[in-house]
Amino acid sequence: MSQINSKSRLFPKWVVFQFTNSDNPNKHKQLDFQKVDEIIDITIKHNPHYELFIDNSSDIALVAKAVKKINSYDCRTEVVCSGLFDFEKLQLLLNAHPYQLWFEISFLTTHPCNVPCQIQLYLDLLFHCRQLMKGSDIYDTKIGLSLWVNGLTYNYIFDIISSLKDIIDIYSIEFQRFLSNKKWLEYCSLVNQEFNSHVKMTRELVVDLKGNNNIDFTKLEDEICKSKAFCLNHNIAFFIRPKTINSNNYKSYFNGEWENMSDKKRSCIYPYILLEINKYGQVSLCHNFFDYAVGNIWKNDVLDIFFNDCAINIRNYTKKKIMPNCVACSRYYD
C-alpha cells in the first residue's frame, strides 16, 4: 500500500520532448504525432509543464500540432529553438501559440572573429519574430533568449540585451556545460558499475580547461551585473545560472574547481519530476545528460518507464548524492 501511495504522489511535473537531432544506435522509429499525442494524453492528467526542443532537423508541423494539443488542455508549453530558422518555420511556430518561444545562442566551435556576425543573425531573427507578432492575434506568447556563456560569448552579454529592449520578454544566461577528463572518467566508472550502462554521449562535453584561460572574470561579472540591472529597468525577466554573481565563483566554474563553487547541492530533484523523451523515444530523467536511458516509449508505456527499476535506481542514488557529471550542469548551482 505504501508503494502505491508513493507512486500516486510521484508523477512527472516537467515533460520534455527533444525533437533535436540525436544518435539512434538501436534504430528506433522517430516520434510521430500519434505517439506524441498518446504521451500527452497520458501525462496531461497530472498537469505538467511541457517543453519542446527543436532544431532545423525537427518536423515543425508536428511540433506545432503538439503545442496546439497541449494548449487545448490549458497547459503551458515552451518551445526552445536551437539554431537559426527560416521565417516560414517561425510563423508556423508562432501560429501554434506556445506560452513561451525561446531562442538559444550557443557557440563552441565558431572562430572568435565570426561571433559578432553570428550574434547579429540571431538578433535579426528575434527582430523578425517580434514583427510577425505585431498586428496579429499572437500577443500572449513570451519571447525568451537563452545565452550560453563561454570564452566566445561572455564579452557580448550586455550588448545583446541592450539591443533587444523592446524585443524579448525574458533573458536567461547559463554557463556552458563542460567536463574535465577526470570528471568524465569518474562518471563513466560510476554509470558502468552502479547502473550497468555505458557512456556514449557525454564525451563531447570534455574540454581542455586551458581553453577557458582567455576569460576575464571581472569583466564577466560586470557584464552580468549590467545586464541584470538593464532587465530590471526595462521589465525583462532575468535568470542567471549559476545564480551567485561573483567573479571568483565564475573562475572556479570555468577552471573546473567545482568544489569551490557557491550554491552546491547534495542531491538532485530532476529524476523525481522530469520525463525527457528524445526524437527516437529514448526516455531520460536528466535534462542535461542522456546517457542513462531508463526505457523507450516504443517498447513500454511512458508511465511504466517512469516507475521502472532503472528509474528507481537512479532516484535512489541521486537522493543521497550527486553524480560526477552534475558539476557541469549550471542548474546544479541554481
**Which of 51-65, 70-84, 169-183, 207-221 comes out lowest in average pLDDT?**
207-221
Q: How far apart are CA 99 and CA 143, in angstroms?
A: 9
Whole-number Å distance between alpha carbons of 7 and 312: 11
Q: Is-contact 289 330, C-beta < 8 A? A: no
CA separation for the pair 270, 288 (Å, rounded):
10
φ, ψ (nearest 5 deg) of residue 80: -115, 120
Residue with cell 516504443: 298
pLDDT of residue 105: 93
Q: What is the pLDDT of residues 245-275, one digit of tens each?
A: 999 999 999 998 988 988 877 788 889 999 9
pLDDT at 111: 81
How many Å apart are CA 77 and CA 132, to the nearest integer? 20
pLDDT value of position 5: 38
Of 227, 54, 208, 246, the C-alpha closest to 153 is 227
Grid cell of 201 as nine digits: 554521449
Report the pLDDT averaged over residues 267-295. 86
Residue-wise pLDDT tens digits, 68-93: 999 999 999 999 999 888 888 999 99
Q: What is the pLDDT of residue 21?
A: 80
Q: Which segment of 140-154, 155-169, 279-293 scores lowest on mean pLDDT?
A: 279-293
- At residue 44, the pLDDT reads 93
